Amino acid sequence: MKKIEAIIRTMKFESVKHALESAGFDSMTVTEVKGRGRQKGIVQQWRGAEYVVDLIPKTKIEVVVPDADVEKVIDIIATSAATGQIGDGKIFIAPLEDAIRVRTRERGDTAL
Amino acid sequence: MKKIEAIIRTMKFESVKHALESAGFDSMTVTEVKGRGRQKGIVQQWRGAEYVVDLIPKTKIEVVVPDADVEKVIDIIATSAATGQIGDGKIFIAPLEDAIRVRTRERGDTAL
Amino acid sequence: MKKIEAIIRTMKFESVKHALESAGFDSMTVTEVKGRGRQKGIVQQWRGAEYVVDLIPKTKIEVVVPDADVEKVIDIIATSAATGQIGDGKIFIAPLEDAIRVRTRERGDTAL
Amino acid sequence: MVNLRHIHVMLIVVLLAMLVTPALAQDPNGAETLEGDPNAPVNFAWTLICGFLVMFMQAGFAMVESGLTRAKNTANIMMKNLADFSFGALSYWAVGFALMFGTASGITGLLFGTDGFFLLGDAYDVSTIELWFFQMVFAATAATIVSGAVAERVKFSTYLIASVAITALIYPIYGHWLWGGGWLNAADFMVNLGGGYGALDFAGSGVVHAIGGFIGLAGALLLGPRIGKFRKDGTPVAIPGHALTFAVLGVFILWFGWFGFNPGSTLAATELRISVIAANTVLASAAGAVTTLFITWWRFGKPDVSMTGNGVLGGLVAITASCAWVSPWASVVIGIIAGIVIYVGVWLLDWVLHIDDPVGAVSVHGFNGAWGLLALGIFADGTYGVYTTEGPLVTGLLYGNAGFLAVQAISMVVNFAWAFGLGLILFAALKYTVGIRVPPAEEMQGLDIGEHGVSTYPNFVIAEPVLDGEKA
Amino acid sequence: MVNLRHIHVMLIVVLLAMLVTPALAQDPNGAETLEGDPNAPVNFAWTLICGFLVMFMQAGFAMVESGLTRAKNTANIMMKNLADFSFGALSYWAVGFALMFGTASGITGLLFGTDGFFLLGDAYDVSTIELWFFQMVFAATAATIVSGAVAERVKFSTYLIASVAITALIYPIYGHWLWGGGWLNAADFMVNLGGGYGALDFAGSGVVHAIGGFIGLAGALLLGPRIGKFRKDGTPVAIPGHALTFAVLGVFILWFGWFGFNPGSTLAATELRISVIAANTVLASAAGAVTTLFITWWRFGKPDVSMTGNGVLGGLVAITASCAWVSPWASVVIGIIAGIVIYVGVWLLDWVLHIDDPVGAVSVHGFNGAWGLLALGIFADGTYGVYTTEGPLVTGLLYGNAGFLAVQAISMVVNFAWAFGLGLILFAALKYTVGIRVPPAEEMQGLDIGEHGVSTYPNFVIAEPVLDGEKA
Amino acid sequence: MVNLRHIHVMLIVVLLAMLVTPALAQDPNGAETLEGDPNAPVNFAWTLICGFLVMFMQAGFAMVESGLTRAKNTANIMMKNLADFSFGALSYWAVGFALMFGTASGITGLLFGTDGFFLLGDAYDVSTIELWFFQMVFAATAATIVSGAVAERVKFSTYLIASVAITALIYPIYGHWLWGGGWLNAADFMVNLGGGYGALDFAGSGVVHAIGGFIGLAGALLLGPRIGKFRKDGTPVAIPGHALTFAVLGVFILWFGWFGFNPGSTLAATELRISVIAANTVLASAAGAVTTLFITWWRFGKPDVSMTGNGVLGGLVAITASCAWVSPWASVVIGIIAGIVIYVGVWLLDWVLHIDDPVGAVSVHGFNGAWGLLALGIFADGTYGVYTTEGPLVTGLLYGNAGFLAVQAISMVVNFAWAFGLGLILFAALKYTVGIRVPPAEEMQGLDIGEHGVSTYPNFVIAEPVLDGEKA
Ligand SMILES: Nc1ncnc2c1ncn2[C@@H]1O[C@H](COP(=O)(O)OP(=O)(O)O)[C@@H](O)[C@H]1O
Ligand SMILES: Nc1ncnc2c1ncn2[C@@H]1O[C@H](COP(=O)(O)OP(=O)(O)O)[C@@H](O)[C@H]1O
Ligand SMILES: Nc1ncnc2c1ncn2[C@@H]1O[C@H](COP(=O)(O)OP(=O)(O)O)[C@@H](O)[C@H]1O
């Protein structure tokens, strides 16, 4: 079981969600984050002083899947989140040891 | 050392927190997230158009504990977060390699 | 490849960010969280009733780095986030199996 | 029997408008009224503009109430405020005004009026409608006060019914007793006891505010507290409001509108006493604010913002009955006591009675409304008459007229009995028929979703603060 | 040819001010005006204070518009509202007022005025400037209505140009036809058909609101819908506004300001009809709100807050033309129909025409403005004359004057043709030259960053709700 | 020696009220005043309603100040605004009014007044109290201006002391010099130099705004900048405000209230010049907004919202001194220059003086207040006299009276010296006794927690934007 954690453009979120859905990956957890990678900040101004908001609002999607589905999910996200411009984001793959469904106490892959 | 990451109903948070507290697990990190699993979205309306908010506000609790305590914490959360209805949430268990307390630079289980 | 997850004082964030930057670690993901460890809550009042906001707003920084850089980053964060008072925060080290840059599909350390 | 000399001047306005035009029973375009009274333009302009300011207080109530409650209930609160003004205007047009200011002879006239429904017939007259407009915005104020006390748990549909009952029946009948020639003001025994005039209430500490506040008290009592408001041992838990910015903006809007409420209640700019009324209004409110600020600083260690806002409003409510009849220094005293009443009132409800009044409506409008009625009986200084510069001039206890304080005390007791009593009956009747409270799950999730299917702040990440409720 | 007897009273005010002072063509300090008219102070005070209230409606428009749109565009919306009042005041000073109320003889005078530019020369006169002030705040209102219909996608620079064109040209010329002695009001054939008076519009259902609403319709049409507003099959997708608190606060502010708008349009407190006007204004709006509340409850299952707010405004717009000429019960009827018009209008744009009007400006101001013109032709009850208590008294269909309804229908059609037509030309001209819409990437990111380089809420974590758009 | 002919009309009002009633030294109910002056009702109504609008500006100040600062300090800012109006009303009642408008003979009378404390004795009079009310809301305005300049770091307790000192002493004494018969306005040498009248300031560009702005400058200077406002090399860092929606709402509220401020300062609707005053007020503010909009567009690449809001306010402040004495075109010019002053002022403080004024109070009220005094000396066109249509008519440089510009320049210098000087003394005295600044840790965490133990927005996830401060 792996946790796939993707940090994507907020405005691409809708299409990533749809792409995952269509492939049967309905479950996910989403967080509003701010981030910085290669992408430069946005220049803003306040009463004449320019400043760089150098952490850009991004959306983090976490999807937990059985090992077998990992590559599929990576591919779906990478495809649907891409614009080709700097700032498209990253996907991280982390190992998980177990998952528990609170309602039923099922564990392991069946809990996903 | 493991990180226990539970995604629960926002309105159950208070009771989970108290349950953890009572068992001596005071430390935690909490994030407002939105999520989707088996639970259907909430139908809302805006000027006559109905729409589904299909990512429901949830609360994510992260608790890092020594290996020995993992099952205990899982049990506490699963018990106190449950309503028996769809949408009760999930608990994920991830391995952690180390923890450092910033103030003292203690490491490992003693840093928790 | 490791994920370094630091939960620090919100008001120390600026200096942590600068310290990481100076050492060449530009990339990061930041989330507003609330947390509790050893630090007591803040006593507030509302119309005469005192209450404790016992989860204090904190900032979570996630930085993914190759294994070789882990200790360096821990040191930078621990140094720049410290005040010596209770509530300075924690750093957790988690294993990651892979990283993918969405734009280029590069994988592994080169994707960071 | 009605002692005609003492009937409230407002009634006189109506009567005059009808009497001076014997050929035509009404004057819908105003030509004859103007001919009969060259001061009519300035008095109409004054009364209407002041009425507009009172109408704007609705925005203030909406802001205070939403600011002091949680984000998940905000749309519901805004909707309640939109609705109670709208339903209130229509109810007062259909029924309320006729009961309050209609004419009726004999005993009936001491209890309620019986003509002017739907502003039909003779009521289609510029003077009558001027009075209607000013009184309608007052009626809507009484209704909207209740909204705050029952916030965050009342069913929207039931709230609408209660709101209509208030503006159509409960408020106007009591209002008739004070302002429409009814018994509290005009019955012989009251006039004799008062020393030439019965119970008075210049702009409605009692008629508007205490009525609203005590109906709200009944509602809050029968609804029960919000989930989580009290621990099992009865100690109150703080449920912080979602935006003090809105709450204080609301206080400022109400403060502004109150200058229509009080000075406008002369219904005439030819009563130059309006300047004193305005000054008394601001002095009492300032004193109320300063007092609450210092009390909360002393008791809680830090000055409390939302309570200080309540202190402003408490001072305003308290001075409303007496603003035309007392001097500036007395207004300051009345305001100081109002600030104390706020503090004690909030404490009483929270710690002793365990009644959950999310915005402090009962203390602000109920308790201070009652205090305002008494204060008039104490401080009236004999410089001004009954809505006129002519005698009898109104004097209170400090100026040798203890009887008038007695009259005011009777008025206060009747006010409480009527408002709280009918409030209990109304909410109990609703509770055991249609139900008055949303289900617990809806309350937890918020009334915005439950009652209106909408989120007020969809572009913001919303969180509830995690409270421990007990001092560390 | 102009039938002088029927020229709009406002023009008369101007003329009088000029005529009564033959030695001095103007009276910039008011001494002579005062001597000539002892009622001038109360009328000036009334008109100016009402004008101040109308000015404050700008805040209401800004709040409604920002509350009903997304957080990422809020600064842009506030800026548009600051700008259109500022540019509007200057354009109306430089050009608009002269076209609207300037004098001109013969045929030209039926079309537009030709003097008074920059308030220079004879226009430097207390009466003329009083009129200018009151009319300027009206002109700015017409302009700001458009802002809502084109929100969340229009280029700021282009918006400024459109705004100036509206207050300098489109609005004043049409306004002249109704209020400045132009053909709709004063041409012989209109006067004859109307039975003694041509087309009327007491405070501007047509002149201000429908003009603004239909220009907005043209703008929204040519801009196209916001990204994501309609699915490929044309079904609309909800794009919830970011803060209903602001939206409803805005409704209350507009409601308050409307009491300047309607009663103030007598330009004289000596017209005691102002009380009836105020009452009609509140009754129609309350009826509009209640109607929309119940319709949405019935159709959507739950009462809708933002639509109910629109219901208030729709009732206000609809009564604006007729507020001085109808009776209270008729106002309620007019308001009920206004509420229905709101519901049908929003549905029509969303589901049939697929035009994206984020805040409902077209239904509130356009459709209800048109309804208001007709309603006057139906319900005018013959109790009041043309801005005066003297005859001819204005009567409509229900009181036997079908001709006047015909006149009003003509006025309505002309209004639509002028506003929508010129609106199309204006926005088309801009579209094919400077461009009217921000690039898609900017629209997605928000106009705050794109147009002004700023975030409205930098201290809040901002999120867009994740919508599915179809019922589960 | 006082030249009685030139004493400010406001004083005359007071005196008259006292003189026309020789038998009774005061008229607390207004009957005699009414008998003596049939225009009293319209003038009272006008003055009071305008005063209500000015009172409402408090809400505007609270909104602008909170909108332009961070969410963690919002409750503190709202509380400061509640408190300064409340403490201000009481101080002005107790002390300020007597110093400003009390009578005193000889040299003392040129410096300050000595009777009317607590509105006791003869001051219990409808005319005196009318004047008190209108002047009290002005005094509170001066105090609240300071709040913005010292925001986000001043200790609440100390702020209260400063606020009382301003409304009780600093403001009224300077006010006496201009409006109470003091030396700037009435000393022989000033009157002679001015050509028949001494220094003038119609509604308070100097008396209210520059006084407030320059005291604020002193406060901001002695407090030092907020943590993080300037880099080590002195370059300013942007600290964006938390809600432009509130800031612009505040601008609209202030704009609205200003129509009470300026036209109301005639204290009489019988001065028909009020229409010109209203028009000048709106034209200058519009010109200020448009100018700032274009300057920021040109300099920063995009039009800046908060600066444009300041442009509105700068135009309003600048026209305040001269609004009754200049023509519309001159108002536009004054407004344009005011917009430039805003831009230059903000730049000066940020980049040259390194003084941290979070909301632009110094540029808006201080610099433009000073400009307003000069502008009067330049553009006064001789159409209107000293608060009366009778002569001497006021003319400035462009109309041949260079002496009057000199008088105004003196007035401006004295204004700056008095306000900035006493401001320095006041804040220095506080700094070295009770302390004026919260500890750094409290400032970082926010004054809401530190001073009031509360969070303004507990239901929202709060974040500070992460700024780099230097262009990428
Ligand atoms: N090494 C990293 N550690 C943590 N988060 C990262 C890392 N690299 C990127 N991110 C996150 O991913 C987001 C997008 O990355 P960015 O580098 O801007 O895109 P790209 O990969 O196209 O260059 C960043 O805003 C940040 O939130
Ligand atoms: N596979 C998953 N990956 C990531 N998050 C998940 C996953 N499954 C569930 N979640 C999170 O858990 C929350 C609750 O899950 P849900 O399926 O609705 O409850 P239940 O387990 O009772 O069916 C979701 O809203 C989502 O945030
Ligand atoms: N065991 C833990 N699991 C999850 N989060 C933790 C844990 N311990 C600490 N945290 C997070 O770290 C933050 C700071 O920890 P705290 O204990 O207050 O500081 P210190 O280490 O100085 O005592 C907490 O607010 C919480 O968010």
- Best mutation site among A11, A36, A85 for ligand 1, i.e. most ligand atoms within 8 A of its Cβ? A36
In chain A, helix, strand, coil percent, each to 5? 30, 45, 30
Closest C-alpha residue for ligand 1 atom 6: C28
Give the C-alpha separation, D2 to F209, whole Å: 56
Chains contacting B (3+ CB pairs below 8 angstroms): A, C, D, E
Each residue of F1-27: pLDDT tens digit?
Answer: 233 333 444 444 444 444 433 334 589
A103 and B CB contact within 8 Å: yes
A7 lines ligand 1 (CB under 6 A): yes
Residue length of chain E: 472
DSSP state of A85: S
**Cα-to-centroid distance, D440 and ligand 2 (Å):** 24
Chain C nearest C-alpha distance from B57 (Å)? 15
Residue B50 confidence (pLDDT): 82
C57 and F CB contact within 8 Å: yes
Contact F468 A44 (CB under 8 A): no
Atom of ligand 3 lying closest to residue C55 CA: 25
Residue D16 confidence (pLDDT): 42
Contact C98 A92 (CB under 8 A): yes
Contact B57 D462 (CB under 8 A): yes
**Residues of chain C scoring pLDDT < 70:** none
Neighbouring CB atoms inside 10 A of D105's CB total: 9
- Best mutation site among B7, B8, B12, B55 for ligand 2, i.e. most ligand atoms within 8 A of its Cβ? B7
Atom of ligand 3 lying closest to residue C89 CA: 14
Token pair belonging to E53: 């209230």
Among the partner residues E78, E452, E461, nearest to F463 by beta-carbon distance: E461
- Give the residue from chain F lying closest to D42, CA to CA: F42
**Confidence label for D429 from pLDDT (cuts 50, 70 and 90):** very high
A87 lines ligand 1 (CB under 6 A): yes
- Residue C20 near residue A37 (C-beta atoms within 8 A): no
Amino acid residing at F439? P
Among the partner residues E238, E241, E466, nearest to B55 by beta-carbon distance: E466
A105 lines ligand 1 (CB under 6 A): no
Residue D9 confidence (pLDDT): 46
- Residue E461 near residue A32 (C-beta atoms within 8 A): yes
F454 and C CB contact within 8 Å: yes
Q: Is the bond preceding residue F303 a cis peptide, omega within 30 degrees?
A: no
Neighbouring CB atoms inside 10 A of E471's CB total: 11
DSSP state of D365: I
Each residue of D194-222: pLDDT tens digit?
Answer: 999 999 999 999 999 999 999 999 999 99
Give the C-alpha separation, D112 to D129, whole Å: 19
**Cα-to-centroid distance, F302 and ligand 1 (Å):** 29
Chain F nearest C-alpha distance from C12 (Å)? 10
User: Cβ contacts (< 8 Å) between A95 and chain C: which residues?
Assistant: 95, 97
**Weakest mean pLDDT among E151-165, F93-107, F193-207:** F93-107
The three-class DSSP label of residue A46 is strand
Token pair belonging to D266: 């002369």
Closest CA to F104 of F91, F93, F115: F115
Contact A10 E464 (CB under 8 A): yes
Chain E nearest C-alpha distance from F207 (Å)? 24
Among the partner residues F83, F119, F457, nearest to D243 by beta-carbon distance: F457
Atom of ligand 3 lying closest to residue B101 CA: 21
The three-class DSSP label of residue D175 is helix
A63 lines ligand 2 (CB under 6 A): yes
Closest CA to F302 of E442, D169, D320: E442
Residue F6 confidence (pLDDT): 38
Residue D42 confidence (pLDDT): 98
**Who contacts E67 (Cβ-Cβ below 8 Å, separation ≥6)?**
E241, E242, E243, E244, E245, E246, E247, E248, E249, E250
How many helices (DSSP H) and strands (DSSP E) are in chain F? 21, 2
A88 lines ligand 1 (CB under 6 A): yes
Give the C-alpha separation, D312 to D288, whole Å: 5
Among the partner residues A6, A36, A60, nearest to C27 by beta-carbon distance: A36
F233 and A CB contact within 8 Å: no
Residue C8 confidence (pLDDT): 96
Closest C-alpha residue for ligand 3 atom 13: C89
Token pair belonging to C86: 């209770």
- Residue E435 near residue E427 (C-beta atoms within 8 A): no
B27 lines ligand 3 (CB under 6 A): yes
Token pair belonging to E290: 């209640």
Closest CA to E75 of F15, D410, F67: F67
**Cα-to-centroid distance, C35 and ligand 3 (Å):** 6
Each residue of F135-152: pLDDT tens digit?
Answer: 999 999 999 999 999 999
Phi/psi at D191 (5° precision): -65, -40
**Weakest mean pLDDT among D281-290, E44-53, F105-114:** F105-114
- Residue F311 near residue F360 (C-beta atoms within 8 A): no
Closest CA to F309 of F326, F325, F293, F333: F293
Contact E455 A30 (CB under 8 A): no
Closest C-alpha residue for ligand 2 atom 23: B38
Closest CA to F37 of F116, F119, F127: F127
User: Cβ contacts (< 8 Å) between D51 and chain E: which residues?
Assistant: 259, 278
Query: For residue B7, what are the β-bridge partners?
Result: B60, B90
Amino acid residing at E287? A
According to DSSP H, which parts of E350-467 are helical?
A: 361, 368-379, 402-431, 440-445, 447-452
A38 and B CB contact within 8 Å: no
Token pair belonging to D177: 């007793």
Q: Is the bond preceding residue F392 a cis peptide, omega within 30 degrees?
A: yes
**Who contacts F280 (Cβ-Cβ below 8 Å, separation ≥6)?**
F262, F319, F322, F323, F324, F326, F327, F328, F330, F331
According to DSSP H, which parts of D68-204 are helical?
A: 74-91, 97-101, 106-111, 126-149, 156-165, 171-179, 183-186, 188-194
| Residues of chain A numbered 63-82 and touching chain C (CB < 8 Å) | 74, 77-78, 81-82
Residue A38 or D122, more confident: D122
Closest C-alpha residue for ligand 1 atom 13: A89
Each residue of E331-360: pLDDT tens digit?
Answer: 999 999 999 999 999 999 999 999 999 999
Closest C-alpha residue for ligand 2 atom 20: B87
Each residue of F363-418: pLDDT tens digit?
Answer: 999 999 999 999 999 999 999 999 999 989 999 999 999 999 999 999 999 999 99
Each residue of B11-25: pLDDT tens digit?
Answer: 899 899 999 999 999
Each residue of B57-92: pLDDT tens digit?
Answer: 999 999 999 999 999 999 999 999 999 999 899 999
Contact C45 D463 (CB under 8 A): no
Give the C-alpha separation, A14 to D174, whole Å: 58
Give the C-alpha separation, E103 to E87, whole Å: 24
Closest CA to D279 of D259, D296, D294, D297: D259
**Confidence label for D468 from pLDDT (cuts 50, 70 and 90):** low
Give the C-alpha separation, B44 to F375, whole Å: 57
B112 lines ligand 3 (CB under 6 A): yes
A58 lines ligand 1 (CB under 6 A): yes
B37 lines ligand 2 (CB under 6 A): yes
B51 and A CB contact within 8 Å: no
DSSP state of D226: P
A22 and E CB contact within 8 Å: no
Contact C86 B100 (CB under 8 A): no
pLDDT higher than 70, residue E6: no
pLDDT higher than 50, residue B28: yes
| Cα dist from F157 to E267, F361, F425, F437, whole Å | 49, 21, 18, 10
pLDDT higher than 50, residue E54: yes
User: Cβ contacts (< 8 Å) between A14 and chain E: which residues?
Assistant: 466
- Helices E126-149 + E9-19 axis angle, to 10: 150
B63 lines ligand 3 (CB under 6 A): yes
- The complex scores an ipTM of 0.95
DSSP state of D61: H
- Residue D309 near residue D248 (C-beta atoms within 8 A): yes
**Confidence label for D471 from pLDDT (cuts 50, 70 and 90):** very low
Q: Is the bond preceding residue E225 a cis peptide, omega within 30 degrees?
A: no
Each residue of D42-84: pLDDT tens digit?
Answer: 999 999 999 999 999 999 999 999 999 999 999 999 999 999 9
Among the partner residues E82, E136, E456, nearest to F245 by beta-carbon distance: E456
C62 lines ligand 1 (CB under 6 A): yes
Each residue of E252-276: pLDDT tens digit?
Answer: 999 999 999 999 999 999 999 999 9
Query: For residue C57, what are the β-bridge partners?
Result: C34
The three-class DSSP label of residue F113 is coil
The three-class DSSP label of residue E92 is helix
Average pLDDT along chain E: 93
Each residue of E12-34: pLDDT tens digit?
Answer: 444 444 443 333 458 999 999 99
pLDDT higher than 90, residue E289: yes
Residue E75 confidence (pLDDT): 98
Phi/psi at C29 (5° precision): -125, 135
Residue B40 or D281, more confident: D281
Residue C52 confidence (pLDDT): 82
Residue F163 confidence (pLDDT): 97
Closest CA to D72 of D454, D467, D459: D454
Q: What is the 3-state secondary structure (H, E, C) of chain C?
A: CEEEEEEEEHHHHHHHHHHHHHCCCCCEEEEEEEEECCCCCEEEEECCEEEEECCEEEEEEEEEECHHHHHHHHHHHHHHHCCCCCCCEEEEEEECCEEEECCCCCEHHHHC
Token pair belonging to E229: 């507003």
Q: Is E428 exposed, middle or buried (0-12, 13-18, 19+ CB in 10 A)?
A: middle
Torsion of CA F294, F298, F299, F302, to 10 degrees: 80
Chains contacting F (3+ CB pairs below 8 angstroms): A, C, D, E
Token pair belonging to E82: 């600051």
D306 and C CB contact within 8 Å: yes
- Give the residue from chain A lying closest to F239, CA to CA: A46
Among the partner residues F249, F256, F383, nearest to E63 by beta-carbon distance: F249
